[in-house]
A and B are shown apart, each in its own frame.
Chain A
Amino acid sequence: MSKSNTKKNSQLIWGLIFGIIFGFLLQKGGVTKYDVIVGQLLLVDQTVLIIMLSAVLTGMIGIHAFKAFGLVKLAPKSGSIGQNVFGGLIFGIGFALLGYCPGTIAGAIGNGYLDALTGGLAGIMIGAGLFAALYPQLRPKILKVGNFGDLTLPRLFKVNDWVVVIPVALLIFLLLLFLR
């Protein structure tokens, strides 16, 4: 086997290991459950938001520190108003109806939930297939409208990363205290 193949295979194994840990954490957090996710959207259960904000707070400080030491290269996604606003809202409608998102539906399947394994999984793949079919028309008409590329908040405000990281971290921390 060539060296690059060996490297690729070891990365596939890392993907599996990280996935197992991620799935374990999602299930222990309760977010493989429809009731918890829809409870968040009905604003009666703050579990989803607490998990996401704690993850973003921890992750953000760590990866920006690693970046400052040259240990990691970040990969912020490109986007546009047409892409992220419309796509986000369409996703949100599905979020409430299905009650799982693409990551948590995998966890829901592991948890034994058959609505996730059947209708939910089939639906996500049908939706993705529809998008692939419409992509050549959608791209020029909507997806590129209001394009801002792979902009980050520090570059938008033309400041050092930490000028954004520290206030955002404080804000998330306060929000987490408020959600307690």
Chain B
Amino acid sequence: MDFLAEARWSPYLVGIGIGILSWLTFLISQKPLACSTTFAKSSGMIERALRGKKVADKPYYKEIKLDIDWQFMLVIGIIIGALVSALLSGDFKLQWVPSLWATTFGGAILPRFIGALVGGIFIGFGARWADGCTSGHGISGTMQLAVSSWISAICFFIGGIITAQIIF
């Protein structure tokens, strides 16, 4: 079982694994791999806890429903699976500033925190606007040959590549 302790697997094998995983999610759960709605539900549930039940009446939250569902558990599972994988290979590391960020913006925590916060706001807002993310549109939607997903996935990368070229 040494392969479980390796830090990296071939990206081709990982991709094939994710492809087979998506067969299973369709066969067993009738659902595609997708993540971003969970963050909108979490946001709504936190707001509901702070500001009361009326939050759930917002039209968007009525549409997506503020509950713990299959996809919510999937996202919890991702945290656990990545943790187990990182621990098995000794790749687990508490780290505030990624090295590529540090080469351009320095190793201080606060600028990275702000960068992640602002980037997160764009991601959260954009994923809801496009109705999907890199997994829901980028992998699950494109394999279903959905027009919405091919357009979204291409735009994720156009926006990302242009922004990365500007900031680095």
Contact = CB atoms under 8 A, between A and B. Distances in A.
Among B19, B29, B70, B142, the most chain A Cβ lie within 10 Å of the Cβ of B19
A139 to B, nearest CB: 8
Contacts of A128: 36, 39-40, 42-44, 124-125, 127-128
A131 to B, nearest CB: 4
Contacts of A100: 123
Given A75-B144, A120-B116, A120-B117, A129 B44 contact: yes
Contact of A96 (B79, B140, B141, B167): B167
A38 B147 CA distance: 26
Among A32, A59, A104, the most chain B Cβ lie within 10 Å of the Cβ of A59
B120 A122 contact: yes
B116 A107 contact: no
Contact of B85 (A12, A27, A34, A109): A27
Contacts of B121: 94, 123-124, 126-127, 130
A124 B81 contact: no
Given A126-B120, A150-B146, A106 B75 contact: yes
Interface residues of A, number: 123
Interface string B21-51: 1111111111111011011101110110000
A60 B15 CA distance: 12
A88 B126 contact: yes
Among B27, B59, B122, B136, the most chain A Cβ lie within 10 Å of the Cβ of B122
Given A111-B86, A128-B43, A106 B17 contact: no
Contact of A17 (B77, B98, B117): B77
Given A15-B71, A91-B155, A107 B79 contact: yes
A140 B72 CA distance: 29
Interface in B67-83: 68-83
B122 A91 contact: yes
Interface in B105-126: 112-126
Contact of A135 (B38, B60, B72, B83): B60
A165 B45 CA distance: 40
A77 B132 contact: yes
Given A55-B16, A109-B79, A102 B128 contact: no
Contacts of A76: 141, 144-149
A126 to B, nearest CB: 5
Contact of A56 (B68, B126, B142, B163): B142
B120 A98 contact: yes
Interface in A81-137: 81, 83-116, 118-133, 135-136
B114 A27 contact: no
Contacts of A132: 40, 43-44, 58, 60-61, 128
10 contacts: A16-B80, A29-B8, A54-B15, A72-B26, A90-B130, A101-B35, A102-B133, A112-B94, A132-B60, A138-B129
Given A11-B70, A19-B77, A27-B82, 15 more contacts: A12-B68, A17-B77, A27-B86, A28-B89, A39-B100, A59-B19, A59-B22, A72-B27, A88-B155, A89-B155, A114-B95, A127-B126, A129-B40, A130-B125, A161-B145
Q: Which 3 A-B pairs have the closest CB atoms?
A: A92-B159, A19-B77, A123-B120
